[in-house]
Amino acid sequence: MSQSTIPAAPLARKDRKETVLHGVTLADDYGWLRDKQNPDVPAYLEAENAYAEAEMAPLGGLREELYQEMLSHIKQTDVSVPFRDGGWWYYTRTEEGLQYAIHCRKRGTEAGPAEDAAEEVILDGNRLAEGHAFFAIGATDITDDGRWLAYTTDTTGFRQYTLHIKDLLTAETLPGEVERVGSVVWAADNRTLFYTVEDEEQKRQYQLWRHALGAEHSSDVLVYQDDDERFNLGAGRTRDGKFIVVEAASHITSECRVLAADQPDGEFALILAREDGHEYSVDHRNGLWFIRTNDRGRNFRLVTAPVNAPGRENWTEQIPHRDTIMLEDVDLFTGFFIACEREDGLPKLRLWRFADEGADATPAGEIAFPEPAYDAHPHVNRIFDAKTYRYGYQSLVTPSSVYEYDVASGGSTLLKQVEIPGGFDRALYASERIHATAPDGVQVPISIIYRRDCRKERENPLYVYGYGSYGYSLPLGFSSSRLSLLDRGVVMAYAHIRGGGDLGKPWHDAGKMLAKRNTFTDFIAAVEHLTAAGYGDPARVAIEGGSAGGLLMGAVTNMRPELFRAVVSHVPFVDVMNTMLDASLPLTVPEYEEWGDPNQEAYFKYMLSYSPYDNLKAASYPSMLVKTSLHDSQVMYWEPAKYVAKLRTLKTDNNRLLLVTNMKAGHGGASGRYDYLKEIALDYAFLLRELGIVNCGQSASAAATA
């Protein structure tokens, strides 16, 4: 299809609404797009989809080529590393042609599954997904005796989960369901289930319920309700299985209640009452609480306290707060614990050994990692009396791997590395870690990967990804899909900007609230440094981000549109002012602790200074692919729809502006693994056309440039 035969871009009608606050008038012409029941809304979204498909039609062959390439790098029939829980070994497997994983188990011993053990299918995602365009399994928990499974499912993408209980002995699912369920946890009696439920307006988990197996759900007992709109509830058990823990947490404050797991009808006891700005979490070993707390610094420390006297006056410090090391978590076992830390932007897994049953532990080394930039994290470790520790490891050039660490010897054994078929050779690729200087002098880490034989100084197309919110550390994981860009000469970079958690909590603090603009200027500095250092052609820079990373995309393209050739923005949070001024929307009130409350004038004016929707102007913008989902529960579909509608009336260029709405999914896009690959193929085809490259040193094909 030639450009001349592509239909005109849809133009949404205007219906002006004005809001006056703090002496400022906010004008919104497209608020009507919020009304999903208005037939004009789906009609507009479908018109945008048709327009985008027409624009992308010349790339049909390239999209299929990319899809087949990505598929060729996936071992479609595969099985995960089994992990032990009680007398069973649990694993998931996939089968070629099936969209979803199959969850299974086998009987076994400490050494592994028995050779003659029959496979039991616990949940078959493919069967459960039948008749649904979207399907996801949420929370799961199995009773200590291995018989009863509680699990939740979402069939819309709105992250609204339904509770089911299955008898694994008979494979029958019990009648009766509960809607809007979050976490699930069984008590030690194998008969009592605790679960949390979200409210209908704010979409936060606010109630804890107790259910007796076999009883009608109408007789379930409300155990606890949290009426503070900032807080979400989550329930689980300590690793030793002795206590049920219910945590109420906002973005900056937490509070834990505990109950002996063998006394499910008892009363939950408070560990420490909530105090604004104080976050803590608890685990249990030999009559002591192990409490990770930020009471003396943003990067957390570890203390212990007697079970019956958890107050601060009884705390004994195990690991002090350190300004340069973030204590992210503690994995506690009978004879040791692993401190999961982050230092210099990289994860560290450090071993502490207990001398006896007491609380005193001493540092005993750390797990060594072979590469200068990587991602490492705890794997599944269900056995409290373990002598080994499983962890996951990967990097930009090393596929996802599972290792088992021997606590006594300090050695690690590779249990499984994801196989990358289709001719992958890691020696062809190189990764680097450099730093850009932000306008205020701060050094911003950047991780880079490229194909060695494609690298040409200042000539490569450059792709830069960013997020930078909620203290989320950007993982340096492996992606087989990414090979389709690398093998065509794209240099790919990941900017670890402020607002994320890459350098601990202070790094997060320096990119939130009234410091949020640092996130955007860090990203711009990263792009400018990459091109100045010769990693890419300044005229061929593509950027990508999603959700809060979509806010980043919108902000930087308003600030410096000339820097970028193409933008891919997934489910972008771009309508900041209208969303944050509407307390009836899910997540708005809790988000005040990340962005600020615009009802306060200082926050209002600061947020208005960067809100992408409100700062669109008559200017030349880069080509954009904006993607959303109709059932998104985190960033409502109307934000990107309004953003595109407004931008169409302002942009002064002829660059492509596409809005693609998945009408059957939520925040994460398509749920099936094959469908998800097709979504990536669309993104990559868009980028490759805009960057003008298909293979190393070759210009794009005629189809790709049509």
pLDDT score for 140: 98
Residue 473 lies in a domain: yes
Distance of CA 266 to the CA centre of its chain: 35
Backbone angles phi, psi at 76, to 5 degrees: -70, -35
- Residues 568 and 686 both lie in one domain: yes
The span from the CA of 511 to the CA of 685, in Å, is 32
- Residues 446 and 518 both lie in one domain: yes
- Residues 489 and 616 both lie in one domain: no
pLDDT at 700 over 70: no
**Residue 343 CA: distances (Å) to CA of 424, 493, 602:** 31, 20, 34
495 CB-near residues (< 8 Å, 6+ apart): 436, 444, 445, 446, 464, 465, 466, 468, 474, 522, 523, 526, 527
pLDDT score for 702: 34
251 is an active site residue? no
The span from the CA of 458 to the CA of 556, in Å, is 22
667 is an active site residue? yes
116 is an active site residue? no
Q: How confident is the model at residue 72 (pLDDT cuts 50, 70, 90)?
A: very high
Nearest to 556 by CA among 446, 644, 468: 468
pLDDT score for 202: 87
Q: How many CB atoms lie within 10 A of CB 159?
A: 20
Please tell me which residue in 547, 569, 623, 629 is annotated as part of the active site: 547
Q: Per DSSP, what are the bridge partners of residue 446?
A: 434, 495
pLDDT at 705 over 60: no
pLDDT score for 703: 33
Look up the domain containing 494 and give its range.
Answer: 429-539
Q: Using an 8 Å Cβ cutoff, are 498 and 461 in contact?
A: no
Residue 188 lies in a domain: no
Of the two residues 356 and 203, the one the predictor is more confident about is: 203
Q: Using an 8 Å Cβ cutoff, are 413 and 379 in contact?
A: no
- Residues 433 and 523 both lie in one domain: yes
Question: What's the mean per-residue pLDDT of the chain?
Answer: 95
Q: What is the rounded average pLDDT of the residues 63-69?
A: 96
Q: How confident is the model at residue 200 (pLDDT cuts 50, 70, 90)?
A: confident
Residue 465 lies in a domain: yes
Largest CA distance in the chain: 78
Q: Using an 8 Å Cβ cutoff, are 88 and 107 in contact?
A: yes
- Residues 568 and 683 both lie in one domain: yes
pLDDT score for 356: 79
Q: Using an 8 Å Cβ cutoff, are 153 and 159 in contact?
A: no
- Residues 570 and 533 both lie in one domain: no
Burial 112-141 (b: 16+ CB within 10 A, else e): ebeeeeeebebbebbebbeeebbbbbbbeb
For the whole model, what pTM was predicted? 0.95
End-to-end CA distance of the chain: 8
| 430: exposed, middle or buried (Cβ count in 10 Å: 0-12, 13-18, 19+) | middle
The span from the CA of 88 to the CA of 107, in Å, is 5
Backbone angles phi, psi at 686, to 5 degrees: -60, -50
Q: What is the rounded average pLDDT of the residues 68-78?
A: 97
Query: What value, to the nearest 5°, has the Cα angle with vertex 549 and ends 589 and 637?
Result: 65
Nearest to 328 by CA among 312, 347, 345, 305: 347
- Residues 436 and 521 both lie in one domain: yes
174 CB-near residues (< 8 Å, 6+ apart): 164, 165, 166, 167, 214
Residue 355 lies in a domain: no
The span from the CA of 470 to the CA of 297, in Å, is 18
Q: Using an 8 Å Cβ cutoff, are 100 and 672 in contact?
A: yes
- Residues 520 and 618 both lie in one domain: no
The span from the CA of 295 to the CA of 315, in Å, is 12
Q: How many domains does the chain have?
A: 2
Residue 522 lies in a domain: yes
Residue 238 lies in a domain: no
Please tell me which residue in 28, 141, 331, 632 is annotated as part of the active site: 632
Q: Give the model confidence (pLDDT) of 542-565 as tens digits.
A: 999 999 999 999 999 999 999 999
Q: Give the model confidence (pLDDT) of 270-296 as tens digits.
A: 999 999 999 999 999 999 999 999 999
- Residues 499 and 571 both lie in one domain: no
Residue type, position 465, single letter: Y
Give the CATH number for residue 508.
3.40.50.1820
pLDDT at 697 over 50: no
Q: Give the model confidence (pLDDT) of 122-167 as tens digits.
A: 999 999 999 999 999 999 999 999 999 999 999 999 999 999 999 9
Q: Give the model confidence (pLDDT) of 409-452 as tens digits.
A: 999 999 999 999 999 999 999 999 999 999 999 999 999 999 99
Residue 469 lies in a domain: yes
Please tell me which residue in 469, 496, 667, 683 is annotated as part of the active site: 667
Residue 339 lies in a domain: no
- Residues 478 and 434 both lie in one domain: yes
- Residues 569 and 689 both lie in one domain: yes
pLDDT score for 694: 58
Q: Give the model confidence (pLDDT) of 461-502 as tens digits.
A: 999 999 999 999 998 999 999 999 999 999 999 999 999 999
- Residues 566 and 510 both lie in one domain: no
